Amino acid sequence: MNTLRMTVAALGLSAFSSLVLAAGNPLSVHVLNLENGLPSPGVNVTLEKHVGKEWQSLSQGVTNEQGRIGELFPAKQTLEAGEYRVVFKTGEYFKKVGRDTFFPEIPVIFEVKNVDQHYHIPLLLSPYGFSTYRGS
């Protein structure tokens, strides 16, 4: 029974720490490799905002050992309503792990309507396919 309590407590602390990390920044990403079911560390990710007819670069980061970037939005800026693009540099990642891929990069365009919400963009990745959705 102690093992069950410890497991539940550990899961609760893990979820809580993720919430605390996300609470201070309006945007996070997570990359999981569907081929092996593991996180994808070392994926370069950029964030851009649609301004007029151009995309303005805001920040960039690299996924950690859990395949996450918990704080992708620039700390000194305020999230505004509008269109944003997260670009996952998947070609670089697959080259590092010795695999070919059909998608050298994956752009995910999303719209921010409510600036008080947290936006989470998960990417489920394989060499010849991907999926994404609005996470929490």
Alpha-carbon distance of 105 to 94, in angstroms, equals: 10
Q: Kindly report, residue by residue over 89-117, the tens digit of the pLDDT.
A: 999 999 999 999 999 999 999 999 999 99
Task: Judge whether 73 and 79 are in contact, CB under 8 Å.
Answer: yes
Q: How many domains does the chain contain in total?
A: 1
Residue 94: give the domain boundaries.
2-132
**pTM score of the predicted model:** 0.82
Binding-site residue positions for substrate: 30, 68, 133
Alpha-carbon distance of 68 to 28, in angstroms, equals: 7
Q: What is the CATH number of the domain that holds 25?
A: 2.60.40.180
Q: Kindly report, residue by residue over 40-86, the tens digit of the pLDDT.
A: 999 999 999 999 999 999 999 999 999 999 999 999 899 999 999 99
Binding-site residue positions: 30, 68, 133
